[in-house]
Amino acid sequence: MRTIRMLAPVLCLALALTACTDADAPETSGTAAPDTATAPSAAGSAPAAGTTVPAKEVCAYLEGQLPTLKGIGSETGVMANLTVNLYSWYEKQGPVPSGRQIDDQTRQECPATRTEVLKLAGMESFERL
């Protein structure tokens, strides 16, 4: 029961963040070309060139967040902190990638940091954010 009470605010926050990003998206007319800036490439896992933060920067950010995340003490709190702060950090850098894109980048660049961050948040993938 306590877990559900702790998880509810996190889910509300995640939904609110999702709603905000959808509300801020520009409307497209039927004649406009689709926006392919964040569409996956033919490989399926890599985004179009120049649209994401380099993996090295993502890993440096996550590495810098580890002391804070370790100090939180609960998986739900870590997940909430990670959701809000990672989203805000990405917004300042440019387009916010999908969880799958973050997973792909961190698996290649900093697998140990990725594993530690996800373990602290009680997650197996950034797709849960």
Report, as an integer, the average pLDDT of 104-116.
Answer: 96
**pLDDT at residue 75 above 90?**
yes
Phi, psi of 32 (to 5 degrees): -75, 145
Question: Taking a C-beta distance cutoff of 8 angstroms, is the pair 9, 16 a contact?
Answer: no
**pLDDT at residue 57 above 70?**
yes
List the one residue out of 9, 106, 11 whose CA is nearest residue 54.
106
Indicate the length of the chain as a whole number: 129
**pLDDT at residue 91 above 80?**
yes
- DSSP assignment letter at 24: T
The top-scoring range by mean pLDDT among 1-5, 9-13, 55-59, 94-98 is 55-59
Report the mean per-residue pLDDT for the chain: 74
The pTM of the full predicted model, rounded to 2 decimals, is 0.61
**pLDDT at residue 89 above 90?**
yes
Question: Taking a C-beta distance cutoff of 8 angstroms, is the pair 63, 57 a contact?
Answer: no
Q: Which residues pair with 47 in a beta bridge?
A: 40
**pLDDT at residue 50 above 70?**
no
